[in-house]
Amino acid sequence: MGRPKIARKSTWVDMTAFVDVAFLLLSFFILTTKFKPPEAVSVVTPNSVSSKAAEEQDQCLVTLSPDGKVYLSYSEEERKIQVVDDLNKRLNLQLTPDEVKKAGKAEFFATPLSQLKSFLNLPKEEMAKGSSMPGIPCKDSTSNELTEWIASTTTVFLGEKLHLMVKGDKDATYPVFKNVIDAFKKSDQLKFKIITNQEPLPLNSPAAESAAKKAKGGAAE
Amino acid sequence: MADIGEGGGGGHKKGPGVKKSKKQSTRVDLTAMVDLGFLLITFFIFTTTMSTPTAMNLFLPKDTEKPEEQNKAKASGALTIMLGKDRNVFYYEGILADDGSNFKSDNFSGIRDVILNKKKSTDDKDLVIVIKPTKEAKFRDVVDALDEMTINEVKRYALVDISEPEQQLIDLTVEAGGGGK
């Protein structure tokens, strides 16, 4: 009697399904991914319960860094050019048309108006270095240059949709924020948005209860 | 790779004398492809920004000198919240007493109950919350305070500058070691 033969089983695994899943996930992530837009400085935004997504078009964004500097940026290139052009004409900054055009390439503005000319002539890599910029001066009401920027922004966006936003680091101090608000008020821009990270509504709060009520009502219908 | 050892399962025995024609396997080793796929997946997972930023709306009142255009608040329905250093919160109801007897201190976790109690005890249309951040308040504190308004569904609130006596009271309280327990 011979030994019983043990059937040798193949250990080859069919990888096709595995590959399918892998590439399905891959295509999902490729399509949903959105690369972070370049930021003037990295700020950590505070949390709020607001669940509305921030608009990405037609925005004028004021960034407050933790050390109290103020940066200004626009989502569209032509807006940057128009705003700088308006500032140039109104305040006689003596920028050449060529320099005004260069403003479209700047990611943000973070210099006093007197240094705007030299800022626009910087090479592109130097321009994007937010931390080395002095920021737009708005220390007090007498030398609040952000007022001029917002005034020009108001002119440029006149009759069109403008999403004025403030993105502040959670450690930025209140006086800086107040000066920004004051600059908005001077141009009658009384409506703006604060960019935050979403956090859930606390339990047993009135807002959470009415949200639950709303959800219930929606389900009953 | 994906198989271990030798795959001997396939191919049946043929009788003696039958010429073996070697069958070419059409199986492709997909392991490398899976490796590559998951490598790319991890890359995209890490670079993706899943949490899109949200925005909270804030409406400012227009600065006006004329008293008839200013919003009036009933003293009985007013609650003033002051934001101090290190997330300390101070508050008083109605008008600040001359001796500061109704001036109280709290912190962010306790202020919600204060607002809710005030909301319960006053008429809805009389309730006004005034937020007064001091110079030492952080942006985060202001956002948190505004957030409390949303959380507690306070319809009327305002962001106002702090006045001199209030600032002094806060300084005194902090010096005495009070505030934020």
A9 contacts in chain B (CB < 8 Å)? 9
Q: Contact B150/A181, CB-based, under 8 Å? A: no
B172/A contact by beta carbon, under 8 A: no
pLDDT tens for the 221 residues of chain A, in order: 567 777 777 777 788 888 888 899 889 888 887 766 666 677 888 888 887 887 878 888 888 888 888 888 888 888 888 888 888 888 888 888 888 888 887 888 888 888 888 888 887 777 777 777 788 887 776 678 888 888 888 888 888 888 888 888 888 888 888 888 888 888 888 888 888 888 888 877 777 778 788 777 755 44
* CATH number, span B73-175: 3.30.420
Residues in chain B: 181
A8/B contact by beta carbon, under 8 A: yes
What's the pTM value of the predicted model, to 2 decimals? 0.73
State how far the Cα of B180 lies from the Cα of A8, in Å rounded to an integer.
Answer: 74
A205 contacts in chain B (CB < 8 Å)? 112, 151-152
- Break chain A into its structural domains and give their ranges: 47-198
State how far the Cα of B171 lies from the Cα of B181, in Å rounded to an integer.
Answer: 16
Residue A72 has a CB neighbour count (10 Å cut-off) of: 22
Helix intervals (H) in chain A: 16-32, 77-91, 97-102, 116-120, 124-127, 146-156, 174-186, 206-220
Question: What is the number of CB-based contacts under 8 A between chain A and chain B?
Answer: 190
Measured between CB atoms, which of B41, B55, B161 is closest to A165? Answer: B55
Q: Contact A19/B55, CB-based, under 8 Å? A: no
Is the ipTM beyond the 0.85 threshold?
Answer: no
A34/B contact by beta carbon, under 8 A: yes
State how far the Cα of B152 lies from the Cα of A79, in Å rounded to an integer.
Answer: 39
Task: Tell which B residues from 24 to 43 touch A, by Cβ distance under 8 Å.
Answer: 27, 29-31, 33-34, 37-38, 40-41
B82/A contact by beta carbon, under 8 A: no
- CA gyration radius, chain A: 26
Structure tokens at B85: 């250093």
A195 contacts in chain B (CB < 8 Å)? 53-55
Q: Work out the angle between the directed axes of helices B31-47 and A16-32 (0-180°, nearest 10).
A: 20
Tens of pLDDT along B44-53?
888 776 666 7
What pLDDT, on a 0 to 100 scale, did the predictor assign at position A35?
A: 67
What pLDDT, on a 0 to 100 scale, did the predictor assign at position A2?
A: 67
Chain A residue with minimum CA distance to B31: A15
Q: Contact A176/B138, CB-based, under 8 Å? A: no
Structure tokens at A109: 């503005």
Q: Contact B62/A185, CB-based, under 8 Å? A: yes
Task: Tell which A residues from 47 to 66 touch B, by Cβ distance under 8 Å.
Answer: 47-55, 64
Give the rounded distance of the alpha carbon of B112 from its chain centre.
15
Whether residue B181 is predicted with pLDDT greater than 50 in this model: the reply is no
- Give the sign of the dihedral formed by CA A39, CA A41, CA A44, CA A45: negative
B96 Cβ contact partners less than 8 Å away, ≥ 6 residues apart? B80, B102, B103, B165, B166, B169
Distance from the B167 Cα atom to the nearest Cα atom in chain A, whole angstroms:
14
State how far the Cα of B160 lies from the Cα of B162, in Å rounded to an integer.
Answer: 6
Tens of pLDDT along B121-159?
887 778 888 888 888 888 888 888 888 888 888 888 888
Q: What is the mean pLDDT of chain B?
A: 77
Give the rounded distance of the alpha carbon of A76 from its chain centre.
12
Q: Contact A198/B63, CB-based, under 8 Å? A: no
What pLDDT, on a 0 to 100 scale, did the predictor assign at position A77?
A: 83
- State which H helix or E strand residue B109 sits in: helix B108-121
State how far the Cα of B58 lies from the Cα of B80, in Å rounded to an integer.
Answer: 18
